[in-house]
């Protein structure tokens, strides 16, 4: 299984990744190039570069189809991979994924993370404000990584803003079982956007994660890991909320 | 020494409370706060000030900024078009079109070539990077602007230089398969190039390229550092940099007496105190504007300020700079003609000389009459006496 992180790379002590491991899932969760302190190849400047580097990585994981999980920005990349190479996938999970355009041309789908005041972004991001990063309490190194991640995100996703205008019309190519999970209080991309995403993928199932904003992996790590594990192991379906 | 006059045509008629409520004087302030009749008055006054400069032998500068009260000139080429026809004598510098937010530099080259021809070869072309607020209003990626800046300049230079029919450009940031600028520019191969920056790395590249390097109101120490970097760049190319490669921009007001000048010059500081206000998400928190290494300090400061605002407490304001502070720091020249000449001579000596003085001559609530008084006094009583300034080598 390959897990692609969201707006920020995973911390070493990620509760969510720990919860996946506890459920017996074997996975790789690499930092995307330019995130998490990893170097960005000088020519990398678009999501297409990240998609191709992930395809290289999938080839390295071996010939067997894999499960692919993408969160937020990583969900966009996961969807791009899935429309290109559905045969390399066994299952697909998208969590509060970015990447498509749903509404009218004057109605932004995705809150602008860089052009809005920090308190507005924080309010839209978190179900519980206590989950927002506290820069005063973080070590310097962690704040620098956080800023580098934002810089990488901005470089890759500024225009068209956090989506590929062509992606939605190719989502029909995704031929593997797909689960779309969404924080019920996500103000960055709304649950309705998530429903539209799921509707565009043949047979995809949509589920809400209760008491979570844009980062269920931080606000509800156990619930999210349980939902993913259940889907991947085809255990009995249950409501996450 | 050449003198250049610049006025950004600010729109100072907005209550400070409105600006504070939006957190910015730029980018997000609704344009319903702009009365187009007042804006028209400002445009006409400023154009008349430029024409007065034309009579007095003071060159003029057109610039642009976007979506804010600091500068109503939203498109430098538009004003170049007016100045190219209405002035008759002086040189006209565009400093400049914000090329990092323009999608097609070839169009910028066309506009510049046109202004150069209308003015019969009196155009100088300056390049500036954009501020963070303009990345938002120009929908331009704030990450990677340096690279885009240089490629845009290279393409503009190529578009002005090529005279043999269409040429092709397939660069990293710009793609134009059939560039063929008409009219060809008057000056050959193209008008002189300038740039404005305080950043030493950019300054070094300007030195390699031999463009005129403008430093804006930075005081002696930072100016020396910036121009040292330029000289290093020149040396790398086996050249030494002549004084006409250096321009310094200072807030300038000349009055009949020191007291009167200092009173009016207070308004020039509006530029820094109000016109420059940009919310953190258009400045310190915007990716690409600061190196991530300084993020701990800036992110924590922004978080603390948000907490203060959330608690309903007033923000901690900066102590306003006084006119005397500004003069002492070398960012302002103000007083009677003798005083101003002496201040400029002192600064000139401190930084090792420069060939161009740029006067930021009107800001805040300064009136048209006050501005014209200053321009006349400068042109008649200061400028003729600046020609005797000799450069002194900086140790």
pLDDT tens-digit map of A16-71? 999 999 999 999 999 999 999 999 999 999 999 999 999 999 999 999 999 999 99
Kind of pairing, strands B332-335 and B246-254? parallel
Burial B163-182 (b: 16+ CB within 10 A, else e): eeeebebeeebbebeebebe
d(CA A80, CA A32): 15
Q: Which of B139, B144, B295 sits opposite A143 (nearest CB)?
A: B295
pLDDT at B290 over 90: no
B188: left (phi over 0), alpha (psi -120 to 50) or beta: beta
> B287 to chain A: which residues are within 8 Å by CB?
114, 147, 150-151, 153-155
Sequence ranges of the domains in chain B = 2-282+318-386
Indicate whether A238 pLDDT > 90.
Answer: no
SS (H, E, C) chain A: CEEECCCCCCCCCCHHHHHHHHCCCCCECCCCCCCCCCCCCCCCCCHHHHHHHHHHHHHHCCCCCEEEEEECHHHHHHHHHHHHCHHHEEEEEEECCCECCCCCCCCCCCCCCCCCCHHHHHHHHCCCHHHCCCCCCCCHHHHHHHHHHHHHHHHHHCCCCCECCCCHHHHHHCCCCEEEEEECCCCCCCHHHHHHHHHCCCCCEEEEECCCCCCHHHHCHHHHHHHHHHHHCCCCCCCCC
* A142/chain B closest Cα distance in angstroms: 9
- Domain B2-282+318-386 adopts which CATH fold? TIM Barrel (3.20.20)
Instruction: Say if A118 falls within a structural domain.
Output: yes
The domain tally of chain A equals 1
Stretch B251-271: mean pLDDT: 97
What mean pLDDT, rounded, does chain B reach? Answer: 95
Interval B108-152: pLDDT, tens: 999 999 999 999 999 999 999 888 999 999 999 999 999 999 999
Q: Can you tell me the mean pLDDT for A192-208?
A: 98
Contacts of B144 in chain A (CB under 8 A): 45, 155
What does the pLDDT read at residue B188?
Answer: 97
In this prediction, residues B315-328 reach a mean pLDDT of: 85
Q: Is the pLDDT of residue B99 over 90?
A: yes
Helix (H, G, I), strand (E, B) or coil at B205: helix
Shortest CA distance to B368 belongs to which of B73, B132, B50, B78? B50
Closest CA to A95 of A31, A222, A4, A187: A4
B92-98 and B167-170: which strand pairing? unpaired
What is the model's pLDDT at position B311?
Answer: 83
CA distance B17 to B21: 6
Say if A49 falls within a structural domain. Answer: yes
- Is the pLDDT at B391 greater than 80? The verdict is no
Report the pLDDT value the prediction gives residue B27, as an integer from 0 to 100: 93
The answer to whether residue B87 scores a pLDDT higher than 70 is yes
Residue-range definition of the domain harbouring residue A54: 2-232
Average pLDDT along chain A: 95
Cβ within 8 Å, pair B142-A154: yes
pLDDT at B354: 96
Tokens for B337? 């003609």
Q: How do residues A137-189 score in pLDDT, each as one tens digit? A: 999 999 999 999 999 999 999 999 999 999 999 999 999 999 999 999 999 99
Query: How many Å lie between the alpha carbon of A11 and the closest alpha carbon of chain B?
Result: 17
Query: Does residue A240 fall inside a structural domain?
Result: no
Hey, what are B198's tokens? 């305080």
Would you say residue A94 lies in a domain?
yes
Give the per-residue pLDDT at B316: 62
CATH number, domain of A186, equals 3.40.50.1820
Residues B47 and B32: beta-carbon distance below 8 Å: no
* B312 vs A79, more confident: A79
Closest CB to B281 among A115, A135, A140: A115
Would A241 be classed as within a structural domain?
no
Say yes or no to pLDDT of A235 above 50.
Answer: no
Q: Check the CA dihedral B196-B200-B202-B206 and report its sign.
A: positive
Strands B356-360 and B246-254: parallel
Is residue A73 situated within a structural domain?
yes
Q: By CA distance, what is A132's nearest residue in B?
A: B303
Reported as a single tens digit per residue, the pLDDT across A65-91 is 999 999 999 999 999 999 999 999 999
CB contact under 8 A, A147 and B144: no
- For the question of an ipTM over 0.90, the answer is yes
In a domain, A110, yes or no: yes
Interface of A with B (CB under 8 A): 45, 114-119, 134-136, 140, 143-144, 146-148, 150-151, 153-155, 158-159
Cα separation, B302 vs B281, in Å, equals 9
Q: Say what the pLDDT of residue B318 is.
A: 66
Name which of A45, A114, A143 is nearest B144 (Cβ-Cβ).
A45
The dihedrals phi and psi of B271, each to the nearest 5 degrees, come to: -50, -45
Residue B287 has pLDDT above 70, yes or no: yes
Angle between the B219-236 and B337-350 helix axes, to the nearest 10 degrees?
50
Whole-angstrom Cα distance, residue A33 to residue A41? 7
Contacts of B136 in chain A (CB under 8 A): 114-115
Q: What is the pLDDT of residue B131?
A: 86
Instruction: Say yes or no to pLDDT of B308 above 90.
Output: no
The per-residue pLDDT for range B170-201, each reduced to its tens digit, is: 999 999 999 999 999 999 999 999 999 989 99
């Amino acid at each position: 299984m390959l897990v692609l992180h969201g707006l920020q790379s995973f911390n070493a002590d990620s509760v969510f990744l720990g919860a996946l491991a506890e459920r017996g899932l074997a996975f790789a969760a690499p930092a995307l190039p330019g995130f998490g302190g990893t170097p960005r190849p000088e020519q990398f400047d678009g999501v297409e570069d990240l998609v191709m580097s992930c395809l290289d990585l999938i080839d390295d994981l071996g010939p067997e189809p894999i499960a692919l999980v993408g969160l937020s920005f990583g969900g966009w990349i996961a969807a791009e991979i899935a429309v290109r190479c559905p045969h390399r996938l066994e299952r697909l999970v998208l969590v509060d994924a970015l990447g498509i355009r749903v509404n009218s041309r004057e109605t932004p789908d995705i809150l602008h993370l860089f052009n809005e005041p920090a308190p507005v972004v924080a309010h839209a991001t978190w179900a519980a404000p206590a989950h927002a990063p506290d820069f005063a309490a973080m070590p310097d190194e962690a704040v620098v990584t956080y800023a580098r991640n934002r810089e990488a995100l901005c470089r890759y996703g500024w225009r068209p803003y956090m989506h590929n205008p062509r992606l939605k019309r190719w989502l029909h190519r995704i031929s593997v079982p797909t689960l779309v999970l969404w924080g019920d209080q996500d103000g960055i991309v709304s649950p309705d956007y998530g429903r539209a995403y799921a509707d565009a993928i043949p047979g995809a199932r949509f589920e809400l994660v209760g008491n979570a904003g844009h980062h269920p992996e931080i606000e509800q790590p156990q619930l999210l890991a349980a939902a993913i594990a259940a889907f991947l192991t085809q255990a009995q379906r249950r409501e996450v909320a | 020494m050449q003198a250049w006059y610049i006025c950004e045509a600010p729109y100072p008629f907005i209550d400070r409370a409105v600006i504070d409520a939006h957190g910015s004087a730029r980018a997000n302030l609704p344009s319903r706060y702009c009365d187009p009749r007042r804006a028209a008055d400002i445009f006409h006054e400023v154009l008349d000030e430029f024409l007065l400069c034309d009579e007095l032998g003071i060159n003029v500068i057109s610039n642009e900024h976007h979506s804010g009260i600091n500068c109503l000139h939203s498109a430098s080429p538009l004003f170049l078009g007016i100045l190219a026809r209405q002035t008759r004598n002086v040189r006209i510098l565009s400093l400049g079109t914000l090329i990092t937010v323009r999608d097609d530099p070839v169009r910028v080259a066309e506009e510049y070539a046109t202004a150069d021809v209308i003015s019969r070869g009196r155009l100088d072309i300056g390049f500036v990077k954009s501020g963070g607020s303009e990345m938002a209003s120009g929908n331009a990626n704030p990450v990677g602007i340096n690279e885009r800046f240089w490629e845009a300049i290279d393409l503009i230079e190529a578009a002005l230089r090529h005279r043999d029919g269409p040429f092709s450009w397939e660069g990293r940031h710009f793609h134009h398969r059939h560039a063929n600028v008409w009219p060809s520019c008057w000056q050959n191969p193209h008008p002189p190039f300038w740039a404005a920056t305080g950043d030493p790395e950019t300054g070094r590249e300007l030195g390699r390229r031999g463009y005129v390097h403008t430093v804006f109101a930075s005081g002696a120490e930072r100016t020396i550092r910036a121009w040292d970097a330029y000289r290093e760049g020149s040396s790398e190319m086996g050249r030494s940099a002549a004084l006409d490669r250096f321009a310094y921009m200072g807030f300038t007001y000349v009055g009949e007496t020191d007291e009167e000048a200092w009173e009016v010059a207070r308004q020039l500081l509006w530029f820094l105190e109000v016109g420059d206000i940009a919310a953190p998400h258009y400045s310190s928190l915007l990716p690409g504007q600061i190196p991530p290494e300084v993020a701990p300090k800036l992110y924590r400061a922004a978080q603390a300020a948000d907490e203060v605002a959330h608690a309903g407490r007033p923000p901690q304001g900066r102590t306003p700079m006084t006119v005397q502070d500004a003069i002492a720091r070398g960012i302002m020249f103000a007083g009677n003609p003798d005083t101003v000449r002496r201040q400029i001579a002192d600064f000139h000596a401190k930084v090792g000389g420069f060939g161009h003085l740029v006067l930021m001559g009107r800001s805040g609530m300064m009136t048209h009459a006050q501005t014209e008084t200053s321009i006349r006094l400068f042109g008649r009583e200061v400028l003729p006496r600046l020609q005797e300034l000799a450069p002194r080598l900086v140790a």
